[in-house]
Chain A
């Protein structure tokens, strides 16, 4: 598997889109951090960028790349290798290179200009989101028949997790504002990795205000180590479940 991954990396790390993505992230990070002097404000702006850019770019780019590699994947599969191995290798290469792009674009400036715990958590968040949305793109790839539909699905998925989901959640919150639905809401948020990542980060940056949130769930659950572990574990599940599902479908897929 690592053999194939290595070659996927050779290709992806020289990919022009990945380079542009890294460069844009780096420019944004450096300009924000130098303008705001490594303050919480810069970190928050970077958080917003991470929560929007990483899911959208990762999903779209990875889906397109997987579809462009379809013929090459077929060629690989005509060799004596298992399907699972090829798919996981391609995924690993994708997740790794997008994580590298994020670490180079956002992580390095952060570590150099604002080395602190929240910065580390932001880097972790970005890397995990890159892995998650690469896995989701993989699932989109194995589930859709052709490139056009695949890209369409990728756009819908990215939009869903970055915007629509929160919109629905907001409507729910309004509709049930008279009921104690806090627990249900937290459970619902588990279904959106972007929200999970955001909350994980907020507990670092806006801890003070979250402690004042009278629902107190932040404090009682998400604010505790158990809560953070829950959020992190859910994020890991968000990598594994689409990935395993993708592998399962791919093993039976007609290419």
Chain B
């Protein structure tokens, strides 16, 4: 679904992405991991077209990401920090995005009702807590039934109940053959959900493997343990 070929991006002297090639397929839940500044956000933004790559190419459904913005209709994006215009209500924000994506009239409002946003839909964005704003962001990402979900730290700041609801939603969507790409620091949140792991460091791809393979190689079954094991013994992996 998403093909990335030799993607390179530098900011001044800093190499954010260094010759990254990846292939992500439908039905996968891919965890994008790596320390701060490893290039996770740059990779996501490159897929979304927010960052312009220097070298390399990104294709979605075989079509290169470029000037034509229509490919984004197939992506639901949940940003790390959800900041919205202060004086708009939840309802207005949702209406606005719906108006921007006028072509699509078939909505998935499981999360909207599940998070109980309809009860507070008239509240102004400025009065909302960080968690509630995260809920709005999540709700927007899932609203248009896209084929690809890109979720940047989705569970950060969410209460356990909502976090669980969001994870269930992700699982359900991947079961329907959608691709879910997640970055998260809280690795325990991704357990049981993730099918593949991408690990980036200093802009370079360290590994991209399925969880099953990683479990066999390391003999661990918790994601944080797996990662720790690999970090201590990099030779476990062929690359």
Whether chain B is bound by chain A comes out as yes
Q: Which residues of A line the B interface, CB within 8 A?
A: 3-4, 7-8, 10-12, 14-15, 68-72, 74-82, 252, 254-255
Q: A11-B85, A68-B83, A72-B83 are in contact. Are A79 and B100 (CB under 8 A)?
A: yes
* A70 / chain B contacts, CB cutoff of 8 Å: 83
B100 touches A3 (CB 8 A): yes
Closest CB in chain B relative to A66 CB, distance in Å: 12
Q: A10-B87, A254-B50 are in contact. Are A80 and B71 (CB under 8 A)?
A: yes
> How long is the Cα–Cα vector from A10 to B88 in the complex, in angstroms?
7
A7 touches B48 (CB 8 A): no
Q: A3-B96, A3-B100, A68-B83 are in contact. Are A78 and B75 (CB under 8 A)?
A: yes
Name the one of A69, A254, A255 contacting B85, with C-beta atoms under 8 angstroms. A69
Is B55 engaged at the interface, CB distance under 8 Å to the other chain? Answer: no
| Interface-central residue, B45, B50, B99, by most chain A CB under 10 Å | B50
A254 touches B70 (CB 8 A): no
Q: A7-B85, A11-B86, A71-B79 are in contact. Are A80 and B72 (CB under 8 A)?
A: yes
Is B22 engaged at the interface, CB distance under 8 Å to the other chain? Answer: no
Closest CB in chain A relative to B72 CB, distance in Å: 4
Name the one of B49, B50, B85 contacting A72, with C-beta atoms under 8 angstroms. B85
B42-71 residues at the A interface, CB under 8 angstroms: 45, 48-52, 69-71
Q: A74-B79, A80-B70, A80-B71 are in contact. Are A10 and B52 (CB under 8 A)?
A: no
A254 touches B11 (CB 8 A): yes
Is B219 engaged at the interface, CB distance under 8 Å to the other chain? Answer: no
A71 touches B81 (CB 8 A): yes
- Using A4-B100, A80-B70, A81-B100 as known contacts, list a sample of 8 further A-B pairs with CB atoms less than 8 Å apart, ordered by residue number in A: A3-B100, A7-B85, A7-B96, A10-B88, A76-B97, A79-B101, A80-B73, A254-B52
Is B140 engaged at the interface, CB distance under 8 Å to the other chain? Answer: yes
Could you name 14 residue pairs across A and B whose Cβ atoms are closer than 8 Å? A10-B87, A14-B87, A69-B83, A74-B79, A75-B79, A75-B137, A77-B49, A77-B50, A79-B100, A79-B101, A254-B9, A254-B50, A254-B52, A255-B50
Count of chain A to chain B residue pairs whose CB atoms are closer than 8 Å in the complex: 80
> How long is the Cα–Cα vector from A70 to B81 in the complex, in angstroms?
11
* A3 / chain B contacts, CB cutoff of 8 Å: 96, 99-100, 102
> How long is the Cα–Cα vector from A254 to B48 in the complex, in angstroms?
11
Is B92 engaged at the interface, CB distance under 8 Å to the other chain? Answer: yes
Look across to chain A and name the residue whose beta carbon is closest to the beta carbon of B50: A255
B140 touches A75 (CB 8 A): yes
Is B199 engaged at the interface, CB distance under 8 Å to the other chain? Answer: no
Chain B interface category by residue count:
20 to 34
State the 8 A-B residue pairs at the shortest beta-carbon distance, nearest first. Answer: A11-B85, A71-B83, A78-B77, A14-B87, A80-B73, A80-B72, A7-B96, A255-B50
DSSP majority for the A interface?
helix
Is B82 engaged at the interface, CB distance under 8 Å to the other chain? Answer: yes
> How long is the Cα–Cα vector from A15 to B71 in the complex, in angstroms?
34
Look across to chain A and name the residue whose beta carbon is closest to the beta carbon of B100: A79
Look across to chain B and name the residue whose beta carbon is closest to the beta carbon of A86: B100
Look across to chain A and name the residue whose beta carbon is closest to the beta carbon of B45: A255
Closest CB in chain B relative to A74 CB, distance in Å: 6
> How long is the Cα–Cα vector from A254 to B50 in the complex, in angstroms?
6
A72 touches B84 (CB 8 A): yes
> How long is the Cα–Cα vector from A18 to B51 in the complex, in angstroms?
32
> How long is the Cα–Cα vector from A101 to B87 in the complex, in angstroms?
17
> How long is the Cα–Cα vector from A189 to B88 in the complex, in angstroms?
41
Q: A3-B100, A75-B77 are in contact. Are A255 and B51 (CB under 8 A)?
A: yes
> How long is the Cα–Cα vector from A12 to B87 in the complex, in angstroms?
7
Look across to chain A and name the residue whose beta carbon is closest to the beta carbon of B46: A254
Closest CB in chain B relative to A161 CB, distance in Å: 28
> How long is the Cα–Cα vector from A15 to B81 in the complex, in angstroms?
22
* B101 / chain A contacts, CB cutoff of 8 Å: 79-80
Name the one of B75, B79, B92 contacting A10, with C-beta atoms under 8 angstroms. B92
> How long is the Cα–Cα vector from A254 to B49 in the complex, in angstroms?
9
B48 touches A77 (CB 8 A): yes
Look across to chain B and name the residue whose beta carbon is closest to the beta carbon of A71: B83
B72 touches A254 (CB 8 A): no
| Interface-central residue, A12, A68, A70, A80, by most chain B CB under 10 Å | A80
Contact digits for B1-33, partner A, Cβ 8 Å, 1 yes 0 no = 000000001010000000000000000000000
* A74 / chain B contacts, CB cutoff of 8 Å: 50, 79
> How long is the Cα–Cα vector from A254 to B83 in the complex, in angstroms?
18
> How long is the Cα–Cα vector from A36 to B48 in the complex, in angstroms?
58
